[in-house]
Chain A
Amino acid sequence: MRKNGVKMIKIKAKDVDVFYGKKQALFNISLDIEENQVTALIGPSGCGKSTFLRCLNRMNDVIDICSVKGEILINDFNINDKSCDVVRLREKIGMVFQKPNPFPKTLYENVSYGPTIHGMAQSKQEMDEIVETSLKKAALWEEVKDRLHEPGTGLSGGQQQRLCIARAISVRPEVILMDEPCSALDPIATAQIEELIDELKKEHTIIIVTHSMAQAARVSQNTGFFHLGQLIEHGSTDKIFKNPDNKKTQDYITGRFG
């Protein structure tokens, strides 16, 4: 989104290094993420794109041996600062994972999970509304409205992933991180999710990690190319795919390696 022709920067990563024990996984990553745009992170397996994604909502905290250095500013606030409240941070930054991971609960409970733990609904009615809007936004409502109280694990893979998206947007996050959200899905389910991503970017800033360059080209406005823990190049998707500056990017895009 541009206001008066100026790019609105939502997330600003400055010199981010990530270590797993003694092994360095990310080197000096600096990347600006534009607001209300889809940013795709591409690169070969093990290049650190998922690790970078997990830095943005501090999910790397879960891994004991992982340590993150550098600054990540979201709304000009450094989330790696000690004063950052991880619970509030993750309320603002939702995440969708590679494999659909609905909780072993009903559809309704899956979606109401976030609003419940963040105390967002004062009444049952309010909660019903949140669940309904979230499912509608995730383009799942029509399919499941009659079986909200059946287990979420009973859905098909594509539906489960949309359920996870509904779960993520139920707390109205500003940013949604998607870690290869379509890699476990068939082409039809993938197309549905991609359509959804396009819709969601009106209200959310989206960062998607993907293995599929076609997908990156289809859904994103900006693209960052990672290789061996380094951000080789980033810029508008058009430029990266049509006229990259770096030879490595060129080679990866044209399928010469990776």
Chain B
Amino acid sequence: MNLILFTFIVLLGFTSYYFGRKKAYKIQSTKKRLTALPQFYGYYLAIWCAIPAFIIFSLWAIFEPTIVKLLILSDYSNQGYLDDELNLLYEKSKALSRGQFTGEITPFIEASAEKYLSLRSIAQSSKVVIVLSAIIASVAYAYKRISSNSRTREPVEKFLNAVLFTASLAAILTTVGIVFSLIFQTIDFFKVIPLFDFVFGTHWYPAKAFVRDSSEALDPTMYSDTFGAVPIFAGTFFIAFIAMCVAIPIGLMSGIYLAEYASTKVRQYAKPLIEILAGIPTVVYGFFAALTVGPFLKELGTSMGLEVSAESALAAGGVMGIMIIPFISSLSDDVITSVPQSLRDGSYAMGATKSETIKRVIFPAALPGIVGSILLGVSRAIGETMIVVMASGLAANLTLNPLESTSTITAQIVVILIGDQAFGDPKTQAAFALGMSLFLVTLCLNIVALRVVKKYREKYE
């Protein structure tokens, strides 16, 4: 029903565009000069069609459920039910009206379900009538108003401005919303677990929190030594470090090769091939790490007399590094290519060789972009989940031995939130606390990255 109505409104929009333009042409044919191109007259009418529709739709979406609920429950409000019971009854009757209710059907529920259905259908038809009449009224009003010297260009431009503004606002608000959802849960978490224990504790063992019977009261003391985040932070940075050890040299060198040395033909094929690496889903990298690289390293280690865990930080970090290569290579290739040719010419004309030119002129000039690409890679490494979950295990060991298994923030969030969880439980909230810290870490990284880039910009431009 809504879909049909929506299609109809879109059609109305096109029609009003057509009529607006037609009227403009008509005015034009009387040799009057228009204040804007005829299209603007069309867009102007289409906007007059879209705005009332949008307003009424949103108001309806906000208020319809509340009003329907109020109307249904008003019948029973003075029969001694508790609010919770009423809510439950309301949900039950809604389910029944959709035919999804399986419990015992009481007359009460049946009656309110019927009422719900009838109210909904009244609401629907009145919505159609109101929306359509509002549109027709507003378009007709605007149609009458437009004349040779009416201003249509400015409102259209303003409308576009508003639409684009709303789009960016939506992105910003979503971010803010995510941060807030993290903040509240995180605060709840730190009410039970002291911040000090979280930041400096060296034991991460959230499984201990599983054993709690939910009927028992919360006892903070039983969580001591459970949520110490040091091992997983250490693991996160350790694995990211291994990954960057692989990704930075290979990525940078291949970027430099592609930008400066490769012939047009090689570049034409090599660049897309490297970028394919970026298109591989991380879960594929994950089982590559877990099933191929991990066991290989284990065997290699055994043959050399080393004890290597099948799920090692080295396997996870190494494969993660491979995953990040294309980001660094492709981005640094781009920034190096965008260094002006005049600088290269200047250096070559001084008798510098290619490698001298790269080392002394191009690399410094491209440094801000290269640093940016590296920090982007670090953010990816810290936020990467799947490879670690699959290849480096879930036990949060505090170790700096790359041959042992360790775990990361993201992997622990997965562990915590997999399967059933109870809200309001410290174990679940721990995930939010971890998410929040991860967010803070990447935020700091981004700020540092921006600073670095800005500093070199000032110096080099």
Contact = CB atoms under 8 A, between A and B. Distances in A.
Nearest to B460: A104
A164 interface: yes
Interface stretch (A24-32, A84-92, A221-229): A84-92
Interface in B342-385: 342-353, 356, 360-361, 364-365
Interface string B172-191: 00000000000000000000
A168 B365 CA distance: 20
A113 B351 CA distance: 10
Interface in A93-123: 94-95, 97, 99, 101-105, 113-114, 117-118
Interface of B: 263-264, 340, 342-353, 356, 360-361, 364-365, 459-461
Contacts of A191: none
Contacts of A89: 351
A74 B80 CA distance: 110
A92 B352 CA distance: 12
Contacts, number: 75
16 contacts: A62-B348, A64-B264, A87-B351, A87-B353, A89-B351, A90-B350, A97-B342, A97-B345, A101-B345, A105-B361, A114-B350, A117-B352, A153-B460, A167-B350, A168-B349, A168-B350
Given A104-B364, A105-B364, A113 B350 contact: yes
Contacts of A59: 345, 348-349
A135 interface: no
Contacts of B356: 117
Contacts of B353: 87, 117
Among A90, A99, A101, A167, the one with the most B-chain Cβ atoms within 10 Å of its Cβ is A101
A103 B349 contact: no
A253 interface: no
A57 interface: yes
B343 to A, nearest CB: 6
A151 B349 contact: no
Contacts of A206: none
Contacts of A171: 350-351
Contacts of B365: 103-104
Q: Which 6 A-B pairs have the closest CB atoms?
A: A90-B351, A104-B460, A95-B349, A101-B342, A101-B346, A91-B351
Given A103-B343, A103-B361, 18 more contacts: A62-B348, A95-B349, A97-B342, A97-B346, A101-B342, A101-B346, A102-B346, A104-B365, A104-B460, A104-B461, A113-B350, A117-B352, A117-B356, A117-B360, A151-B459, A153-B461, A164-B346, A171-B351
Interface string A153-172: 10000000000100110010
A94 B332 CA distance: 31
Contacts of A86: 351
A103 B347 contact: yes
A162 to B, nearest CB: 14
A69 to B, nearest CB: 21
A153 B343 CA distance: 12
A114 B344 CA distance: 14
A113 B349 contact: no
